[in-house]
Amino acid sequence: MLPAPLKKQLASSLQNGFVLKRSVFQPCLELYPMEEWDLMMKKINKLNRFVKKNNDFIRRFTAGVKVVEIDALGRLLVPKDLVAFSSIAKDVVFSSAVNIVEIWDKDLYEKSISGEDMDFADLAEEVMGNINDDDNGIS
């Protein structure tokens, strides 16, 4: 069951449906509003499928992809193979990831954000440190 505030945020996408897939980097699921999925597929369709790496990537990226809907009660049916992939046992976390929603097993999510395996300050500096959109020295 989606939390009511999340369902409200996704209201404009409810009629078009969603795509649910395995995450590339984490043991979680990614919920794409159909509009976002279509944009992603436009990028992927530009890849030359006669390049083996591209073809392998496309196969792995789209493995287990399911078109899903959120019903009138705010429920999302997660197929068993995706539940197994994400190790969802009981409690679920919905995490915003800019234009998609990540769906996590609560324990795995807490472990992933605990910071035990990385220094977030160093990561933030490496990823965002050279971005200056306003050319004013302030990010």
Between residues 112 and 138, the one the model is more confident about = 112
The answer to whether the beta carbons of residues 100 and 38 sit under 8 Å apart is no
| Whole-angstrom distance, CA of residue 95 vs CA of residue 92 | 10
Asked, for residue 120, whether it belongs to a domain, the answer is no
| pTM of the complete model | 0.83
Asked, for residue 124, whether it belongs to a domain, the answer is no
Q: Which of 21-25, 82-86, 121-125 is least confident?
A: 121-125
Between residues 98 and 128, the one the model is more confident about = 98
Domain count, the chain: 1
Asked, for residue 121, whether it belongs to a domain, the answer is no
How many CA atoms are closer than 13 Å to the CA of 5, on its beta-carbon side?
3
Asked, for residue 122, whether it belongs to a domain, the answer is no
Asked, for residue 135, whether it belongs to a domain, the answer is no
Asked, for residue 110, whether it belongs to a domain, the answer is yes
Asked, for residue 134, whether it belongs to a domain, the answer is no
State the CATH number of the domain containing residue 64.
3.40.1550.20
**98-127 average pLDDT score:** 83
Asked, for residue 132, whether it belongs to a domain, the answer is no
pLDDT per position as a tens digit, 51-110: 999 999 999 999 989 999 998 888 999 999 999 999 999 999 999 988 999 999 999 999
| Whole-angstrom distance, CA of residue 67 vs CA of residue 34 | 9
Question: Which residue range is the domain that position 48 belongs to?
Answer: 4-114
Q: Which of 30-39, 82-91, 97-106, 111-120 is least confident?
A: 111-120
Q: Which of 81, 20, 24 is nearest to 58 (CA)?
A: 24
